């Protein structure tokens, strides 16, 4: 009687069985690598399955005294699972995994910016999920609220604001600035309620809020938010700290004032900005040339063509040195200066004729 041949296990089966014999930390490393490969291949469902396995293995590592940095490993597993949920559009679930465990705190302290919510969040958020999170943010009794039941307040609070900032960036990329402004306002309010408010974070959020309001043509609200950010930067300057945000805020404020036709205030803002830029980058910098053009634009708005041409000519000299006479931007600005000179001559002749 012939004996049926035994089938040899496949390479995959051997690999899986060998993996199960390894220590949890080794199995965790293998699963993490497989999850990264799945994500790179676009197989998010498999990546999610592997991230769940990784979290279970990380919990086993917590019971192994020979494993170093157990808290960090466990927190990292939570955060990677959170990132996968975020990619799939489950923002609420992502927020919960990123904030529920106290051991996430060392990750935040070590990295400075938690990759889950600092990543470029151009992911499609599920509409209902976004509304649900916003609703919970307003409720003091729910688990995902900063003062909710369970998680430590300070850790919970910080991750909560990062979640709001993540939703804001998503809405901005979707062109839904009204909703983005709402999330930014919630994040700012939440930061300001902290025992020791993070002034730098609030200033950056106010700057972003000002930019959003500018795009919405809500100039009064935009200027208010930008002035709050500028006030923080002024305080830092008084303490001898130069925050790069200061130049960005002043430029955005000047552009907002120009767009709402407050040309005198806009020109004063750009004049202040250009002094700081000359100290920071030197008088021949291209950013100085850009601001000279802005000042020239304000002068045109004030019907001061002579002043406008003077500022434009200075900008042209810098641009010639940087790009050469044949650069399209240089040639365009030169043509515009000639047009302004022609207009000025025509106006002068008209005034002379009237006299």
Reported pTM: 0.54
Chain centroid offset of residue 161 CA: 13
Residue 344's H or E segment, with its range, is helix 328-354
Q: What is the pLDDT of residues 53-67, one digit of tens each?
A: 888 888 888 777 777
Region for residue 150 given its phi and psi (left: phi exceeds 0; alpha: psi -120 to 50; beta: otherwise)? left
CATH number of 276-344: 1.25.40
Instruction: Give residue 174's pLDDT.
Output: 59
Alpha helix locations (H) across 196-327?
199-215, 219-238, 245-259, 263-281, 286-301, 305-323
Asked whether residue 88 carries a pLDDT value surpassing 60, the answer given is: yes
pLDDT bucket at 107, cuts 50 / 70 / 90: very low
Residue 119's H or E segment, with its range, is none
């Amino acid at each position: 009687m012939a004996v049926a041949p035994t089938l040899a296990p496949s390479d995959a089966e051997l690999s899986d069985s060998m993996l199960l014999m390894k220590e949890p930390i080794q199995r965790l490393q293998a699963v993490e690598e497989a999850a990264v490969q799945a994500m790179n291949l676009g197989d998010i469902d498999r990546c999610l399955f592997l991230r769940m396995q990784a979290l279970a293995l990380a919990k086993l590592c917590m019971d192994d005294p020979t494993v170093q940095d157990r808290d960090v490993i466990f927190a990292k597993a939570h955060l990677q699972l959170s990132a996968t949920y975020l990619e799939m559009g489950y923002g609420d679930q992502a927020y919960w995994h990123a904030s529920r465990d106290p051991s996430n705190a060392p990750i935040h302290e070590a990295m400075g910016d938690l990759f889950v919510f600092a990543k470029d969040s151009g992911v499609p958020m599920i509409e209902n999920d976004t509304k649900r999170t916003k609703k919970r943010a307003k409720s003091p009794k729910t688990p995902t609220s900063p003062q909710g039941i369970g998680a430590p307040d300070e850790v919970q609070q910080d991750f909560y604001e990062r979640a709001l900032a993540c939703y804001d960036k998503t809405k901005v990329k979707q062109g839904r600035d009204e909703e983005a402004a709402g999330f930014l306002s919630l994040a700012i309010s939440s930061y300001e309620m902290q025992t020791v408010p993070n002034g730098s974070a609030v200033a950056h959020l106010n700057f972003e809020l000002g930019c959003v309001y500018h795009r919405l043509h809500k100039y009064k609200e935009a200027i208010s938010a930008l002035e709050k950010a500028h006030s923080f930067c002024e305080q830092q300057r008084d303490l001898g700290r130069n925050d790069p945000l200061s130049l960005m805020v002043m430029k955005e404020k000047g552009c907002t004032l120009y767009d709402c036709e407050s040309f005198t205030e806009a020109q004063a803002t750009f004049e202040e900005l250009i002094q700081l830029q000359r100290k920071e980058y030197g008088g021949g910098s291209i950013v100085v040339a850009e601001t000279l053009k802005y000042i020239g634009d304000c002068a045109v708005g004030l019907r001061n063509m002579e002043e406008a041409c003077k500022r434009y000519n200075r900008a042209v000299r810098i641009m010639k040195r940087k790009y050469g006479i044949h650069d399209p931007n240089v040639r365009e600005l030169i043509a515009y200066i000639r047009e302004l000179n022609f207009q000025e001559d025509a106006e002068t002749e008209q005034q002379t004729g009237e006299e």
